[in-house]
Structure 1
Amino acid sequence: MRPTTRDVAEEAGVSLATVDRVLNRRAGVREATIARVEAAIARLGFVRDIAAANLAKQRSYRFVFVIPSGPNTFMRTLEAQAVEAGRRAALDRVEVEVVTVPPFDGTALAKVLDALDLSAVSGVALVATDSAEVREALARLHQIGIPVVTLVSDVPAFRRNHYVGIDNVAAGRTAASLIGRFLGARPGKIALIAGSMLVRDHVERRMGFDQVIRSEFPHLECLPVLEGRDDAQTTGQVLAGCLAREKDVIGLYNIGAGNRGVIEVLSGNQAGRGLTVVAHELTAHARKALRDGLFDAVIGQDAGHETRSAIRILKALIDGTPVVEGQEHIRIEIYLRDNLP
């Protein structure tokens, strides 16, 4: 028979109420008593039934996901997956609310965080923008004990509890390896387009890309990063301008979104159709570009896995249970025309 809290109380020589306080991390228990209860738990192999405890106490979880607004297809997929993950988690007394903010706008993101009803919010998951205002807003959430998970783009210097997303430095290194190997010994320039260098995922991808090009493909020259604001029209404009200005551009790495703008420019530019192109996220437009030979590879990440992982991690942080790192690892996926799902 599985040990119960009564067994733990008897083993530790304390009351049931004391065991309950220790399990729920409530104040009023001496350190020596906490150590005695924890030792009894370890000896007995006691495993707390979190679901039963939450049901008995009518505990529920309310998580807020803060995601950039706008036409970025991946972010819209992330938003839809957050809603779906919340629907599936409703049986575990989880409620998910999605709030959108303008992309790359630290002031707007901080205002949303500061406007949260902290008495009703259990945890927050957000795609963070690196700014002083966001840093201060997250510090306030940390101070009152609300767990925070960052999605897609990490901000390790901020007060957050966990990051859910791919290793973006490794993603950039992967993109450089693909382009370098596709081009072989051919010398030339590589155009780089990011959404914004205010978000860490784009900065890290650029850094990883540059590391590999410099060390393994010195015959290739990386041009300065252009910012397309993850907007198709802006991305298309900055790419068209780059191709008009620069000679010997033979490769393109689209670090962020705006793939539709890239596709439009390359489709209408005969010279552009010969570029070796690596982009991010397997959207419908990127999938077609792979099939049509405009893109050579797409680096993807599973938005559904990320939202489900964020919910599991927030619950674990609240319940005081371990995070299963292997389950929450988000893999870098590489798609070519030949292995499209």
Structure 2
Amino acid sequence: MRKTIVVLLAAICAVLLYFTSASAYKVFRADWRLPQTPLQESAEYRLVLITQELETPFWDRVGAGAREEAAKHGAMLEIWGSYSNDADEFLKKLEIAIHSRMDGIIVQGLDTDAFKELVKYKAASYGIPVITVANDVPDSLRRTYVGSDQFEAGRTIARQLAADMGQEGTVILLRDNGNAYYQEQRLDGIRSILEAYPGIELQYAETQGSREQVIAAMQDLMNHSPDVQAFIAANANLTAAMVQEIGRRSRVKPYHIYSFDDSPDTLTLLREGLIDGIIEQSPEEMGRISTALMIDWLEGRQIPLKTSGYHTEIRLRKAEDAP
């Protein structure tokens, strides 16, 4: 019995010795390599650009600039958004991007409490940097802003208006009732120039964004101010309805009308001579710079980014310059 046990133990030891030797051979073979971690996206940052206005000329150009810059760095860039300024859908996309743990989010600023909450708390809790582009929301704790100096854009329009109209007249400033930061900056810039002209009277029209509401606000203003000579739309999306109502009541030509280029309608109106001038921005540059800064941040090359933002070029384009 004892002899059987000894034989059995010897056999077990021989088997164990064989497998130990085989494993040791594999470890010390010349062609053996440590197990490779599957390639992650560490060499390719996952970025997303989110806008409220998909498939518009302005935002298509922002996206093109962002894609071009992302490709240079081997980063993956997706473009998400909503149509027709659907704020709820836009915020859902932003929340999805945060929960998807994107490496970086570049987003059109939306000056609402819901947007600020998502950026300040949810994105921050995941450690995801956020850069606002085109429209800023500085108190959202975004890393930085890339886009036009909206205050200077307002000043540029006001200078042109004073040159075209002269030093006397009534000017209507049309705005939406959202009180967005970019809109307030434009209006502050306009006021900073026109307050030097005591003969120019400023009147304010505030409306919600629908065409019917813009038309109703314009009807009320023009009924009460028949001597108005000029109009400035601080929100470019209001321009088409504003011009429609002016044209319905009288000829558009005698009026001085100005706006901005971040609506698909304004360039068409400019080409048709229905508005006198627009502030032309640099959307491709916005896309390129915001993407480059995001990658610089992720790679630790630019920390911190300038909280005051990075301003892109603006220029005034007049009707006679439109192709």
TM-score in terms of structure 2 length? 0.75
Q: Return 5+ residue gaps in structure 2 as ranges.
A: 1-38
1:313 aligns with 2:287: no
Asked whether the 8 Å contact 1:196–1:202 carries over to 2, the reply is no
Asked whether the 8 Å contact 2:81–2:89 carries over to 1, the reply is no
**Residue 127 of structure 1 corresponds to which residue in structure 2?**
108
**Residue 52 of structure 2 corresponds to which residue in structure 1?**
68
Give the aligned residue type for 2:222. L
1:293 aligns with 2:277: no
Correspondence list, 1:1-341, <5 A: 58-69=42-53, 76-85=56-65, 87-88=67-68, 89-90=70-71, 92-101=73-82, 109-118=90-99, 120-140=101-121, 141-186=123-168, 188-214=169-195, 216-229=196-209, 231-256=210-235, 257-270=237-250, 272-281=252-261, 285-322=265-302, 329-340=311-322
CA-CA distance at 1:56 after TM superposition: 10
> C-alpha separation between the residues in 1 aligned to 2:59 and 2:270?
25
Deviations along 1:276-326, one digit per CA (max 9) or x if unpaired, are 11111176743443344332211111222111221111111111124999x
Give the aligned residue type for 1:116. A
Instruction: Between the two structures, name the one with larger relative contact order (CA 8 Å, sep ≥ 6).
Output: 2
CA-CA distance at 1:64 after TM superposition: 1.7
Q: 1:282 to 1:205 in 2, by over 3 A?
A: closer
Paired residues in the alignment total 279
Asked whether the 8 Å contact 1:123–1:148 carries over to 2, the reply is yes
SS in 2 for 1:192: strand
Root-mean-square deviation (CA, aligned residues, Å) is 3.1
Asked whether the 8 Å contact 1:252–1:275 carries over to 2, the reply is yes
SS in 2 for 1:153: coil
**Residue 34 of structure 2 corresponds to which residue in structure 1?**
none
CA-CA distance at 1:121 after TM superposition: 0.2
Q: What is the percent sequence identity of the aligned residues?
A: 19
Deviations along 1:115-173, one digit per CA (max 9) or x if unpaired, are 33545401111122222222221122124321111111212222111101111111112
Q: Return 5+ residue gaps in structure 1 as ranges.
A: 1-54
Asked whether the 8 Å contact 2:101–2:128 carries over to 1, the reply is no
* Higher gyration radius (CA): 2
Asked whether the 8 Å contact 2:148–2:312 carries over to 1, the reply is yes
Give the aligned residue type for 1:129. L
SS in 1 for 2:231: strand
Q: 1:233 to 1:93 in 2, by over 3 A?
A: farther
Asked whether the 8 Å contact 2:170–2:227 carries over to 1, the reply is yes
Asked whether the 8 Å contact 1:107–1:134 carries over to 2, the reply is no
Q: 1:253 to 1:337 in 2, by over 3 A?
A: same
